[in-house]
Amino acid sequence: MTTPAPRAGWYPDPSGKPGQMYWDGQRWQEALPPPPHPPTSWDQARPQLDKRRRFWSGASRERKIILALAGLLVVVAVIAVPVAAFNYLFGGDTPSGTSQSYQVGYDWGHGNTGVDGWKEAGMNVDAGVDGMCQTGFTARNFGHGDLDESEFMQGCRAGFSSNTKP
């Protein structure tokens, strides 16, 4: 009784070498190995992941710096634009010259004299004015607590300036 020949197809190499050989139904053929199994969804996605990795790792140092700075610029813009809009719409912290704190500071500075004497004595006028304004802020704000120090100091300096001789 004869054994029927195997069907045509790819089989392990009959000589024991690694790999496969093709049996055409009558004899072994020297041919390319069969195509690999159909790719799974992960295998199909892998080239896309590799492209993204190569995008950054394959980029030059200059390109990486430019991209990093562009990203930083976007982050700063995302933060700065709403802050600037809020200050514009709801009033920033720049003195108007008419606020209560500015006016109280101006009156305090304008009511104090002697700056010209400080100049003649060779004293640091700016330091003296700042000291007097700080004292005025502390005295005027005591018990009230509603004066803005920055605006008071600006008004006080302007008041002192209005007293000085050119």
Helices (H), the chain: 41-57, 61-90, 100-111, 115-120, 125-141, 149-163
Q: Does the predicted model carry a pTM greater than 0.75?
A: no
Same domain, 129 and 82: no
Residue owning tokens 């004869």 = 2
Same domain, 84 and 122: no
Same domain, 118 and 85: no
Residue 141's domain comprises 100-163
Q: Is residue 158 part of a domain?
A: yes
Tally of structural domains, the chain:
2
Same domain, 79 and 116: no
Instruction: Tell me which residue of 132, 87, 84 sits closest to 111, measured CA to CA.
Output: 132
Last residue of a domain, one of 46, 74, 92: 92
Per-residue pLDDT of the chain (166 residues; tens, 9 = 90+): 577 778 888 888 888 888 788 888 888 887 666 556 655 665 555 666 566 666 667 778 898 899 899 999 999 989 988 887 777 777 654 455 668 888 888 887 877 766 666 666 667 767 777 887 888 778 777 766 788 888 888 888 888 777 665 5
Same domain, 121 and 137: yes
